A = this chain, B = another copy of it.
Amino acid sequence: MSERTKTRRTRGVLGGRSERVVLEVLGATVAELAESGYRAFRMDAVSATAAVNKTTIYRRWPGKALLVGAAVEWMRTFVHDVPLPDTGSLERDLIDAFRRRLGIKERVEGRAWARLLAEKNDPEVDSIIGAAVEERSGAWYAMVTRAVARGELPDGTDPRLLLGMLGAIVDAWNAKSPGRLKADLLEAAVRTVVAGARSGSLVRSPRRRPAPRAG
Contacts and interface: CB of A to CB of B under 8 A. Distances in A.
Interface of A: 161, 164-165, 167-169, 171-173, 184-185, 187-189, 191-199, 201-202, 208
9 contacts: A161-B188, A164-B169, A164-B173, A165-B192, A169-B169, A171-B172, A192-B197, A193-B193, A194-B196
Contacts of A193: 192-193, 196
Contacts of A196: 191-196
A83 to B, nearest CB: 27
A164 B187 CA distance: 14
Contacts of A187: 208
A197 B189 CA distance: 10
- Copies of this chain present: 2
A-B pairs, top 6 by smallest CB distance, nearest first, are: A192-B196, A168-B172, A196-B196, A191-B201, A195-B199, A195-B196
Nearest to A185: B161
B165 A184 contact: no
Contacts of A173: 164, 168
Contacts of A161: 185, 188
Interface centre among A165, A173, A198 (most CB of B within 10 A): A165
A192 B193 CA distance: 6
A103 B106 CA distance: 35
Contacts of A165: 169, 189, 192
Nearest to A184: B208
Given A193-B193, A196-B196, A201 B188 contact: yes
Contacts of A168: 168-169, 171-173
Contacts of A185: 161
A197 B201 CA distance: 13
Contacts of A164: 169, 172-173
